[in-house]
Amino acid sequence: MFARLIIAALLTITAATPGLAQTPRKNVATAATPAPDDRARAWLVLVDDKNYTQSWSQAGAAFKAHQKADAWAKDSAAKREPLGAVASRGLKSIDLSRNTVAVIRYDTVFAHKAAAVETVTLSFENGSWAVTDYSVS
């Protein structure tokens, strides 16, 4: 919710500043673009549901360049499945300090791990937010 307000405020400022509003940009968030937290949560649902191949295909270019789909599926299953099902996931922090990068942390409770922190890094590419890194500790 907070991220949506920030994005809306930035869009309002950009629209109200003539020089900025007229400059075409390739990677600009719009009101129709999901907030990074929304995109991260949608992607995490795929991982929660063990749809590792689909989560890889919906990830960003840097994520895909780092590892192949089958390696991601194997590594994810090895790391996530021992944790069990997600019992709860709450927003811990959103770092939007870098221009086109969002780092989102969640306090997550798994069936077999009561206190974990999931970190999802997203980059704004091709007009939307895409996951470029994920970790759970």
Any idea where the domains of the chain sit in the sequence?
A: 33-136
Side-chain half-sphere CA neighbours of 37 within 13 A: 17
Cβ pair 120, 104 in contact under 8 A = yes
d(CA 26, CA 47): 29
pLDDT digits (tens, 9 = 90+) for 15-32: 444 444 433 334 444 445
CATH superfamily of 33-136: NTF2-like; domain 1 (3.10.450.100)
Token output for 4: 């949506």
| Helix ranges restricted to H, the chain | 2-16, 18-21, 36-48, 52-57, 61-66, 69-80
Query: What local confidence, expressed as pLDDT, does residue 12 receive?
Result: 45
Residue predicted with more confidence, 7 or 93: 93
Q: State the average pLDDT over residues 39-44.
A: 96
Q: State the pTM of this model.
A: 0.76
Query: What local confidence, expressed as pLDDT, does residue 33 receive?
Result: 61
Count other C-beta atoms under 10 Å from residue 116's C-beta: 16
